């Protein structure tokens, strides 16, 4: 079979698999990609690994689009959708979940268009930019962290009567944000430097951390709060105008590409910075920007691996693929761009229908039961890949994630699990902290 046709077929296969998997609440496509790594030697005997690379493109693109559904309808976020939850829940509770999903999907489509349009420029921009930034990573990450802290605002609106009370009221959520950042940072530090999970599946070291920080707390709160989702109305049109699409998409693409390129900056941080930089207002541009940000982050970071003069490994999918296969040619790069466009279009169509299905199910099936099912699923995944030690890590992370939720701090502080170890590493203090912790 000619290579191009094979690539098309494997991209479509990946899109299909990714779409199905993305509908399962809290299941991250990277978890499934992990299975590929575990069986890579066997797979390599039967299928050429360059074709697997294109299957991964399909899976990542589909995940970028369709995992939005579980976030919108069940409120199960990952590290890149922590911002989507509130506006989308607002939509959900006024029976407009489908519209919220479509807005996020439109953003995703804009993100794909941006990536395709940007692809010829990326090969010129990123190699020198990488060289330029390599010496400046530390202060940029520190600046991002400080900005995160500085822009956190007190969540409480009540005014206590005493001065002390008011002071505490003002600082409580901020201080808790720092504590959450510190605790998740410590957990990330241990995970990076002396992981307790089985070394045979070390490529999934961060899996229990992320599931614990982001997925489990939301599942738990959903179960506890006994939210009833009203019956959803499946609208045939979307309340949005081109200006809002442009505003939302441009902010999302900006944040997404920053997160895709910059190490340890996830889609959530990218969205946060882009949102602030472009002064986003309104739920519709916000949801669109999050959709664009998410797709550009996931797909863009993976695409960077295909740039022959760059070979930048960013994001879980790229890290997983590099252990098996490294794309090498310009032909592969531009074929990958084409496959991203193909997969993006198909994923959006699947999203429309899958959202309708979700909208029907979510009011009929108990929200609690769905959340409980999701919780059980992620616990099983954690156990399969990382065993009881992974479960311990996930539970610890869940405690930290719950703190962020219950003390009303930004969930972005949970990304301390990546930022703190990276900052320490870049500043040469990894050994100092490791010694302090006795690692």
Partner 1 sequence: MYAGDSEAICPSCGRYIGPRDVCPYCGARVKRRLSVRLLKIAAVILAVVGLLTVRFVAVYIQTPVVKVSEIKPSMNYAHIKMTGIVTRYPSLYSDGSLSFWIDDGTGEIMVKAYRFEAQELLQSGSIPAMGDRVEVEGSIRIREDFQYLVIDLPSKLVIVKPNISGSYSPAEIGLEHLGLKVEVVGTASGVRETSSGGIILYLEDVGGSIQVYIPPILRVLGFNETIMDGVRLKVVGYVSLYQGELEVVPGMPQEIEVLSQVFEYGRVSIAMVNESLVGSIIEVEGEIVEVRTYSSGTLVKLDDGTGTLDVWIPVEIYSEHPKVAMIAPTAKARAKGLLAVYKDKLEIKVSRVEDFQLLEEPAIEITSIASITESDEGRLFMIQAEITDVVQLSAGLKLLVSDGTGTIAVWIWNDLLEQITIADQFKPGVRIRVIGQLVIYKGTLELQPLSPESIEIIG
Which chain residues interact with partner 1 by CB under 8 A? 34, 37-38, 40-41, 49, 89, 93, 156-158, 183, 186-187, 190, 192-196, 199-203, 205, 221, 224-228, 319-320, 322-326, 389, 392-393, 395-400, 402-403, 405-408, 425, 427-428, 430-431, 434-435, 437-439
- List CB contacts of 407: < 8 A, sequence separation 6 or more: 172, 173, 176, 180
Please state the closest distance from residue 226 (CB atom) to partner 1, in A: 5
Please state the closest distance from residue 284 (CB atom) to partner 1, in A: 19
Please state the closest distance from residue 4 (CB atom) to partner 1, in A: 22
Buried (b) or exposed (e) across 253-288, using 16+ Cβ within 10 A?
Answer: bbbbbbbbbbbbbbbbbbbbbbbeebebeebbbbbb
Nearer to partner 1, 13 or 324 (CB): 324
Please state the closest distance from residue 187 (CB atom) to partner 1, in A: 6
- C-alpha distances (whole Å) from 138 to each of 162, 188, 419 are 42, 17, 10
Nearer to partner 1, 7 or 319 (CB): 319
Question: Is 212 within 8 Å of 395 (Cβ atoms)?
Answer: yes
Best CA proximity match to 302, nearest among 267, 353, 277, 268: 267
Question: Is 291 within 8 Å of 106 (Cβ atoms)?
Answer: yes
Please state the closest distance from residue 439 (CB atom) to partner 1, in A: 6
Nearer to partner 1, 151 or 427 (CB): 427
Question: Is 140 within 8 Å of 404 (Cβ atoms)?
Answer: no
Nearer to partner 1, 44 or 357 (CB): 44
6 three-class SS: helix
State how far the Cα of 29 lies from the Cα of 317, in Å rounded to an integer: 9
Nearer to partner 1, 216 or 299 (CB): 216
Which DSSP letter does residue 78 get? Answer: -
CA atoms within 13 A on the CB side of 10: 20
Burial class (CB in 10 A: 0-12, 13-18, 19+), 347: buried
Which DSSP letter does residue 215 get? Answer: I
Best CA proximity match to 187, nearest among 394, 25, 365: 394
State how far the Cα of 213 lies from the Cα of 77, in Å rounded to an integer: 10
Nearer to partner 1, 42 or 237 (CB): 42
Question: Is 360 within 8 Å of 97 (Cβ atoms)?
Answer: no
Please state the closest distance from residue 245 (CB atom) to partner 1, in A: 28
Neighbours of 419 (CB within 10 A): 24
Please state the closest distance from residue 26 (CB atom) to partner 1, in A: 18
Nearer to partner 1, 158 or 236 (CB): 158
Phi and psi, residue 25, nearest 5°:
-55, 135
Nearer to partner 1, 110 or 318 (CB): 318
State how far the Cα of 220 lies from the Cα of 368, in Å rounded to an integer: 9
Please state the closest distance from residue 293 (CB atom) to partner 1, in A: 24
Nearer to partner 1, 272 or 385 (CB): 385
Please state the closest distance from residue 12 (CB atom) to partner 1, in A: 24
Please state the closest distance from residue 246 (CB atom) to partner 1, in A: 29
Please state the closest distance from residue 282 (CB atom) to partner 1, in A: 17
State how far the Cα of 125 lies from the Cα of 123, in Å rounded to an integer: 6
Nearer to partner 1, 21 or 52 (CB): 52
Nearer to partner 1, 207 or 269 (CB): 207
Best CA proximity match to 123, nearest among 254, 303, 320: 303
Please state the closest distance from residue 34 (CB atom) to partner 1, in A: 8
Tokens for 355? Answer: 């959202």
Give one DSSP letter per residue of 55-76, joined into a string: HHHHHHHHHHHHHHHHHHHH--
Nearer to partner 1, 33 or 351 (CB): 33
């Amino acid at each position: 079979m000619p290579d191009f046709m094979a690539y098309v077929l494997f991209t479509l296969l990946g899109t299909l698999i990714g779409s199905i998997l993305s509908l399962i609440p809290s299941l991250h496509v990277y978890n499934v990609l992990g299975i590929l790594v575990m069986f890579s030697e066997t797979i390599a005997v039967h299928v050429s690994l360059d074709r697997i690379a294109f299957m991964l493109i399909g899976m990542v693109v589909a995940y970028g689009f369709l995992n939005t559904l579980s976030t919108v309808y069940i409120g199960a976020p990952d590290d890149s959708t922590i911002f989507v939850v509130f506006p989308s829940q607002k939509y959900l509770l006024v029976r407009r979940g489908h519209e919220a999903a479509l807005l996020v999907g439109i953003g995703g489509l804009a993100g794909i268009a941006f990536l395709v349009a940007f692809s010829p420029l990326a090969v010129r921009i990123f190699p020198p930019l990488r060289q330029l930034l390599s010496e400046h990573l530390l202060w940029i990450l520190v600046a991002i962290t400080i900005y995160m802290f500085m822009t956190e605002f007190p969540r409480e609106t009540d005014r206590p009567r005493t001065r002390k009370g008011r002071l505490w009221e003002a600082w409580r959520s901020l201080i808790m944000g720092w504590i959450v950042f510190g605790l998740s940072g410590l957990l990330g530090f241990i995970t990076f430097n002396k992981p307790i999970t089985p070394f045979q599946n070390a490529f999934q070291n961060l899996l229990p951390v992320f599931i614990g920080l982001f997925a489990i707390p939301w599942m738990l709160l959903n179960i506890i709060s006994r939210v009833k989702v009203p019956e959803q109305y499946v609208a045939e049109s979307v309340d949005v105008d081109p200006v809002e699409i442009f505003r939302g998409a441009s902010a999302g693409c900006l944040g997404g590409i920053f997160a895709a390129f910059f190490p340890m900056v996830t889609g959530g941080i990218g969205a946060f910075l882009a949102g602030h930089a472009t002064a986003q207002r309104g739920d519709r541009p916000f949801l669109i920007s999050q959709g664009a940000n998410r797709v550009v982050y996931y797909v863009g970071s993976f695409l960077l691996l295909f740039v022959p003069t760059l070979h930048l490994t960013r994001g879980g999918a790229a890290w997983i693929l590099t252990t098996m296969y490294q794309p090498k040619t310009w032909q592969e790069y531009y074929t990958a761009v084409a496959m991203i466009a193909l997969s993006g279009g198909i994923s959006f169509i699947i999203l429309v229908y899958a959202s309708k299905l979700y909208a029907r199910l979510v009011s009929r099936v108990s929200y609690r039961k769905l959340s409980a099912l999701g919780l059980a699923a992620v616990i099983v995944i954690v156990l399969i890949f990382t065993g009881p030690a992974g479960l311990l890590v996930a539970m610890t992370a869940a405690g930290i994630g719950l703190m962020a939720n219950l003390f009303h701090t930004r969930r972005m502080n949970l990304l301390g699990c990546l930022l703190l170890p990276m900052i320490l590493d870049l500043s040469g203090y990894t050994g100092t902290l490791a010694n302090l912790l006795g690692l």
